[in-house]
Structure 1
Amino acid sequence: MTSILRLRLSALFLCAYLISFVRSESSTSTMLQLRESVEFSYCASNVFLDLIRGSKPPTEVFKAYTNIMSAHNNRVSYRTIQPVIISYVGFGICTVIGILFAVFMPIVGLIFCCARCCGKCGGRAQLMDAKKDPCRRIAYTVCLAVLVTLQLVAVVLAFINHFLLHEALVSRNPQTGAFSQFNLSLTETEVALNDMYKMAVNTSSINIDDRKERFIGIVDKGLLDFQKEFARKSHSELVTTPIVDLQKTVGYFAMGSENVVFLSYYNQSLVKLLQDLPSLRQALVDTLDTSCPIEQHIKCRQLMNEAQTKLKTQYSIDQFQFTDVEVLLQNLETHLNDVKSLSEFNSTLGNLATVVKDAIQADLDRAWKDLAQSPETREKLAKAFGEYVKDISAHLATIRQNLEGVQNYEGNEPLLRVLHVGLYGGIALLCIPVLIILLLYLGLCFGVCGHRPYEEAGVCNRGVGANLLLAGVGFIFLFSTLLMLVCMVLFLAGGPVQTEVCRYLTGRVPDGPRKLDDYVYESIVFLRDTLQRDKRLREQTIEQLRQQGHNEQISVRYAVDNPEFELALDVSRARLGDAILTRCETEPFVDAISGGEFSWPPLREPVQAILQDLIDSFKNVNLISPLEQTVRSCQESLERLKFMDAVNFTSAINRANIPLTLIEDLEHFAVELRSLNMEELRPHIDTLSDLPLSLDQQRVRVRHLYTMLDSFLGQHHLIQRRLSEFNANLSESVKVTMDVGLQKLRPVFEKELQLAVIATWRDIPCKSLRAAVKRGVDAGCITLLMPMNAFWTGLGFTLLLYIPVIIFAVKLAGLYRKTEKYSSDYEEPDYISYHGFYMRPTSEYQVVSQKPRNKVRKHKGYLPVRQQET
């Protein structure tokens, strides 16, 4: 155990020496190796933060704050802050645990020390081990050694991350210093923008045919959406559905179809039945009368009477209206083209997008030519882009100068003093858990290798180990509050930055930059809507006050009217984070920025005139004329199908509901005849099954077909009524759909026309811009933030392990003070020597229970006199 302690202490001092060596020599390679060696601690802190934060969007705090600030009363409802509580319940739990730890740890330590001084808590000495004490001593020692080793690893990681954090603040090397890395990012961003500007000037020979195809394809998609919107607004499905049903029904009864063949067969079979049924009835009666066996005479008589009286049809051939069916089928065949012509309505609705595109095609071609292939437009755009690049470069230069001023630590004595205090204060702070770990390791070493605690024969005494363990426990109680407060401050400073911003920018969350852009845009839109709502409410209040006679001049200035507010809204709408950090890696500049909606004055100026022409062309598209013409054509076709109004197969449908003969169950009658087992009846039974019984079983299908034929009247009237309603509401439907379509198509046209202006820039890469911006993101989110988060993670892990460490240390202190029952020291002669006798433990350490003496002493010559009872 001593060798293990020496090895661990050597590793700790070697790490401290390595840190001092790196600080003095500024070895970049060593710093990078140190960062790689503790990278798993970054992953641990990120996993912990993701676990306590969850995946809810970071807009809830902003929305809750906006609602609270815009509230007209001082009371805040729970519903307002409920999303914040749900989103940040993990941070809240960790904060409460840290506060309770910092408050109760010194209180528990004070109670423990008082109880220890009174001899009531931990470390009470007993000379002999209990039966299970040796096993407990081994188990507790192993557990405490493992816990302290984990604490040592966490503290070493905290040491390294503390130094990496200090280097990120003071180092001038871009590989290790956050400010230097961010400064280099600004320089590279400026260079990348200048290179993109130079390439934008020389793009006159770029082939942009594929960009035009993309432009036309997106316009087609927008027009298809407009077509669907018109179908929904006009309720065209109320017309198309009956037309389709009518055409399907007519198709069921086309000449030569299965249904027509079946009706013809049924008609012929029914005619034959009416002709053959009297002879069949007479044959059955004669056979039953003459050939029936004597034992079945009664049954034969019953069947003969039933056949003679009921084996007759209940209706004539005319009642099935076969003649009307033939006339209707002939008319359908004659006017089949008129039925098919009703599909023109569906075709016209399906070609509305084509009609609109044909009307605006000339304007689309002219817009593309004027915007994408105009030298004047390209020159003007490049000039404007150059001015923007100059403005951005000027701002970047100002930021670089400020960063250089911040990095000039030699000339800033207060800042240098703060950095030194942070460095050496952090080292001093981490030396506290190192001291505690040292005391615990020494206590374990003395406790493992020591002998009896009350003998001076050995140099290594287990009692010393117990005292060292209790000393470590005392230091834990003494300094835990300070360590936890520092840990909580760093946790609350670095944790939210990682979960709300950096995990999206670095791509730890899938599609993180795009989601962050959406969250920012939603927050700004929410703020704008809230301010506009408050503005309306205030204006209404002011108007009411003026109506009541308050004529004071009241003016309110709103941030929503600020041009910078609109600029922020336009920038957030462009999704620049997703474009630069994600899409620029694999796509050129134009394709990368096409994922958002951007508004740039140099792009807006040449677009607005052409956009207005497109909108005017769209408004002037005559959609009413082709639709009205189609409706008239359909109505004319329906007029030629007016013969359907005379369709009425009610009689045939009603007859098909009743049995064919007076015998209600003809099948049962045939079964009864077969049960007689008369060979003379067999041919008659077969004839009965082939004609009457078969036709009777087909009545269900006949009824269904007649019902379909009878539906022509209702379908014809329904289509006529729906067409009239559609035609009456056509103008209003077109107007409403045009307004809705313009609201949806205008941003599509504007965005695509802006992309058409910069279509010649499609070959301009933006990988260098992405690399520069990503370096700036890494400077803040990785180089600076990750060591800080890993620092409080290691320190917090160490503090949480103090709770089981205290428990095991106190238990081991009591076990180390005991004497092993079968120790070899018992067999030493010196144990009963004079020296051993006087060096034995005092009686206060060994309580020997004695049996109380209840025996009454009897003195010689004396007997107690018994008292007489009165």
Structure 2
Amino acid sequence: MALTLSVLLLLLLLALGRSTDSGEQPAPTDSPMHLHYELPPVTYETPASYSAGPISILFQMVHLFVHVVQPNSFPEDIVRKIIKKEFELSADYDKVIYYEMGVIICAVLGLLFIILMPVVGYFFCLCRCCNKCGGKMHQRQKESGPFRRKYFAVSLLVISIIISIGILFAFFANLHMRTRIQRTQKLADSNLNDFRTLLDQIPKQVDYIVDQFNVTKERGFSDLDNINKVLGENIRDVLGSKVIPVLDEVKAMVTAIKETKAALEDMESSVQSLKQASEHLNNNLTTVKRNMEVTLSSSECSSEPMQQICDNIRASLGQLEGTPGLDELPSVESELKNIDDILATNLDDLVDQGYAFFDNIPEDVKAQTEGIIRDAKRLLNGVSSEIKKVAKMLPIQGMLSNVTGYINDTETYIHQNLQKVETYDSYWWLGTLITCFLPTLIVVFFYLGLFCGVWGFDEHATPTSRGCVSNTGGIFLMVGVGFTFLFCWLLMILVVLTFTIGVNMQKLVCEPYANRQLFQILDTPYLLNKEWEYYISGMVLKNPNVKLTFEQVYSDCKNDIGIYTTLKLDNFFNVSEHLNIEKYTGNISSKLENMNLNFDKTVLLDEETRKKLQTFANSGIQGIDFDAFLTQTDQAPVKVNLLSFADDLEEKVNPLPSGNVKDDLQGQADTIRKIHYEQVLPMEQSLSNLKETVMTVQRTSSGLQDKVNNVLDSVDSAQNFIENNTEDIIAEEVKKYAKILLGHFERYIQWVKETITEKMGSCKPVATALDSVINVVLCGYIVHPLNLFWFGIGQATMLLLPAVIFAVKLAKYYRRMNSEDVYDDGEILPMKTLTETPSEADPRPPADSPLSPPARPPAPRRPPTSAPTWPHRPPWR
């Protein structure tokens, strides 16, 4: 059944191979923002690996024993000759014997056991019946008797335990085989369902591949519809990276001009207001000083001590004067007029025009490419039609019908024959149970004998007076010995048969399949067909010269690779030729690359604007005497601090007696304070503002000519860049855009090739099914348990030999004897049988009989030399 199933699976593999297309794997195209494709995952029922569970440890132990018995490597030459039908036993028997030497030796030993065991048992029984071989029910008393009894009991117990372990090994192997074979139907259905899943997925995968082109096409259409963003913005960014900074510099220069104008206006306004405020301050201080002189000239100041105070006050009046120079600050009206002339032209509008040129590039690109976009969409729709044609060229329907037929036939065959297998397995199960029962029965008698013998043994009882329990234990041991002679040779027959079959199946099928030596044998050129170098390529590709091996096919299927790559179907159907992206997208690429984009000539700065900037550089701002302004602004409006002067004046006036002079001077002190708050403080603030404005203008005018020249040089450089490089930049960006657009389709075609060649139609269920037939069913369910079975039964059977010896020896210490050694005063007397009568014990007539000879005096007794001298009869142990 397993061989037939494997043949059907091989035919299924070949049927799949004939109906699958092929392809190549070109290098992938790098494209930004590319789409990602992935076939929907396929889930199979059958597990990819097999585990026997905890019993696998026992299997490994048996494998080690098999390797010791049969250490030779796989006989490749012999197998090749057998396949080629060139094997002759007469010529190659020496190789076979050398390879099978370990098996032959073990089998011969088993045959000797089978032949000799019944013979030995027969003569043993005859010997026992003649009161030999321990058959005489008399036990000699020995000093080492207790030790020997314990040694025999312990040895028999250990051997019985080991025999029990061997029986358990056989039972577990039998149980494992029974339960696993019952799962064969489920395993077969699982593999067949995986095949159906694979065949159902193939058309779905083809439809999925075709549908993914629509996703790719929509992405391409999106890029075409957004050409203003994808292409136009890139052109704008490349040109703008050189020009926008220049426009920013011009914009900054225009802003500087405006700021300078505002600063000059503030400066001119501050100068004029300071001049007026200085004149007003000087007039007020002069009036205060004149009024105080009039007051100090009165008659009250002519007498002491007022005269001295008045003179002191009069001497300080010279400090009431404004700081000279404020009225001499130069005017900046001419420079301001020059800047007003420059700003008469709206420079901001000129700069904004340059910005607007770059902002309009994306829309200009979209407007100029409307016709090209329509043509590109039409060509892409044509590519969609070609992809569908290629999909229809795949011979999926024929493959599905053929393979579905193979699967249905295989399923029918399995269902018809699996019941027979289960029936045979039931017979095997029953036979092996009986086989396990026989050594179990023997070892049970040994256990019962040990139990009863040890439990019922009495150290003080003589051999002839042993109890019933102890005697029963001895009888159990002898019954076990009898059953051993009856059945062990039958067990050995089964062990030899299963051993020969199991070891050869392990070494010739299971191990070579696991290390793939079987595939290497089948891959031998001209082995299966004398005219074909490689058998699979001859069957699938009709070209036996293509290197396609069983090992490579199995490995690829095991690794979940598509049948296209596994069977090298590029020699049968070349996908790359039918999915050549250049054949579909060449016209699109040429149309895009020949795209002509024209932009109006842009002048960043016209001649008039350039003159305005030059005029600003020559406006005379840098000729202003900023040091004079800064020097004047650092001085106070008045030579003296009016608040301090007023406080000092009041301090001087306080000693004066009350009168007009004191009142007038105090009133002038208040007037001076008022002048300070109302005129001096605002002038100080104006001077501070003027200083900041002057510094701003000075900073702006510093290196003004160089700044303007640098800006004009940058403008000239940017203008040359636009005039000389715009066409090249547009051409380069168009190529990039075409690469992005076509990259989606190149990646799609690449994914289609990879999917068809590596993923679609994965032959993993084929490798899994082959593993299920050979590795799981044949080896895991049958061979490995079979080897464990003979290993356990063989171990138990072989150990029955020492068990028989120890049981026979031990039974002598448990059974009730018919006679025993008698001790009297340290001398062993002649043996006395318990069942003898006086006349039977001594055939001589009684002393009082007339036939008795005359009485003679007794001879002196000597201690026996062959037996120990005991002061009294020792207890039996």
Computing the radius of gyration from Cα coordinates, the structure with the larger value is 2
- TM-score, normalisation: structure 2: 0.43
| Bigger share in helix | 1
Q: Under a length normalisation based on structure 1, what TM-score does the superposition of the two structures give?
A: 0.43
